[in-house]
């Protein structure tokens, strides 16, 4: 039997478990792309701490009454991708055992974990703090 036949047999009986952390554009695009490309060979779980995806570029127009940010319920998005939605924050990951631990929920075993948790903006002061010296312009 060729190695390709073995892989096919395993994949057909036992879907590859993918946990996607993050309900933003990256998380949802990953979920939909995986379902489209891998079909029934993957079992998908979406984990995000809120109920909705908000299309943020349009959010800047709302204060001016120009438009409203588009919102999509995450459980609907997950259902469209035939995925399970877990409304929680992933608090810990055991990479050796491949287990992601959402807050107040049961541990999730995975074969692949996608971290699409975005970035956090940090404001940095341009004024040097006391006791430090500003860099000298060259
Ligand atoms: C006001 C505004 C206007 C913007 N306009 C534009 C624009 O015009 N064009 C453009 O290209 N970009 C724009 N952006 C940037 C764009 O919104 C971001 O690049 C995009 O949202 C990044 O998507 P993301 O999925 O990587 O992260 P995010 O959208 O930040 O999503 C991260 C997700 O991860 C979840 N998460 C975080 N930690 C955990 C955890 N531990 N466990 C589980 N889930 C977790 C969050 O709750 C969230 O659902 C704008 C951003 C803002 C704020």
- List pLDDT tens digits, range 96-117: 999 999 998 899 999 999 999 9
Architecture of domain 3-115: 3-Layer(bba) Sandwich (3.50)
Ligand 1 pocket, CB under 6 A: 21-27, 47-50, 56-57, 59-60, 89-90, 116-118
Ligand 1 centroid from CA 118, angstroms: 5
- List pLDDT tens digits, range 17-47: 999 999 999 999 999 999 999 999 999 999 9
- List pLDDT tens digits, range 44-82: 999 999 999 988 777 777 777 776 668 899 999 999 999
- The span from the CA of 65 to the CA of 32, in Å, is 32
Q: Which atom of ligand 1 is nearest to the CA of 119?
A: 30
Report the Cα–Cα distance between both ends of the chain, in Å, rounded.
67
Q: Domain boundaries in the chain?
A: 3-115
Ligand 1 centroid from CA 74, angstroms: 14
- The span from the CA of 20 to the CA of 119, in Å, is 16
In SS3 terms, 100-125 reads as EEECCCCCEECCEEEECCCCCCCCCC
Which burial class, exposed, middle or buried, applies to 110 when counting CB atoms under 10 A from its CB (0-12, 13-18, 19+)? buried
């Amino acid at each position: 039997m060729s190695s390709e036949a073995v892989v096919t047999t395993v994949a057909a009986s036992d879907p590859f478990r993918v946990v996607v952390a993050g309900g933003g554009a990256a998380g949802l695009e990953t979920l939909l792309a995986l379902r489209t490309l891998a079909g029934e060979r993957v079992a998908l779980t979406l984990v995000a701490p809120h109920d909705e995806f908000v299309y943020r570029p349009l959010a800047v127009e709302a204060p001016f009454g120009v438009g409203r940010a588009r919102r999509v319920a995450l459980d609907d998005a997950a259902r469209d991708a035939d995925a399970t939605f877990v409304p929680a924050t992933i608090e810990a990951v055991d990479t050796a055992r491949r287990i992601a631990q959402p807050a107040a929920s049961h541990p999730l075993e995975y074969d692949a974990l996608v971290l699409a948790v975005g970035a956090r903006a940090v404001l940095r002061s341009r004024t040097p703090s006391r006791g430090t010296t500003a860099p000298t312009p060259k």
